[in-house]
């Protein structure tokens, strides 16, 4: 099921307040990814933080590429949370999004590799290369 862009990806309007709250209380890893990897100057694309999409809040979303990037903390090590993540990812992918995930640790300790992966995905989905 591809999502109709004209209705803002069919997002749940009830999530807007929660998304705003999340945007104002980013984790250290989210703040680092935002600052060091996802600027338009570095990627050539506009990413938005804590963006409602479908019935979820995407950590980072590039609407033009239909790309969602998630940064997962230690709570995502829990089996139930991992199962929920997989279900969420499948629904987003079925709607036409590409979803990539990084752990907090990856972002904080291996930013070069994180940027390399993001750059590869952007090149694959986009119209050229990013300057990551």
pTM: 0.80
> pLDDT tens digits, residue range 33-63?
999 999 888 899 999 998 888 888 899 999 9
Q: How far apart are CA 103 and CA 38, in angstroms?
A: 16
Q: Is the dihedral of CA 107, 110, 116, 121 positive or negative?
A: negative
DSSP label of 78: S
- CA angle centred on 47, ends 42 and 50, rounded to 5°: 135
Q: Tell me which fold the domain 5-125 belongs to.
A: Endonuclease; Chain A (3.40.960)
Please tell me which residue, 54 or 117, carries the higher pLDDT value.
Answer: 117
- The values of phi and psi at residue 56, to 5°, are -130, 170
Percent pLDDT > 90 in the chain is 51
Give pLDDT, residue 130: 59
Lowest mean pLDDT among 17-21, 24-28, 33-37, 108-112: 17-21
> pLDDT tens digits, residue range 70-96?
998 755 566 777 888 899 899 999 999
Band (pLDDT 50/70/90 cuts) for residue 26 is: confident
């Amino acid at each position: 099921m591809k999502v109709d862009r004209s209705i803002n990806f069919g997002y749940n309007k009830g999530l807007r307040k929660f998304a705003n709250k999340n945007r104002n209380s980013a984790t250290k890893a989210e703040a680092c990814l935002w600052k060091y990897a996802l600027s338009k100057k570095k990627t050539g694309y506009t990413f938005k933080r804590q963006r409602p999409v479908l019935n979820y809040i995407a950590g980072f979303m590039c609407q033009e590429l239909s790309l969602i990037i998630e940064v997962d903390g230690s709570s995502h090590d829990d089996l139930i949370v991992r199962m929920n993540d997989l279900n969420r990812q499948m629904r987003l992918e079925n709607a036409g999004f590409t979803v990539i995930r990084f752990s907090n640790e990856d972002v904080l300790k291996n930013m070069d590799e994180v940027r390399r992966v993001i750059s590869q995905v952007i090149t694959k989905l986009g119209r050229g290369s990013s300057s990551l």
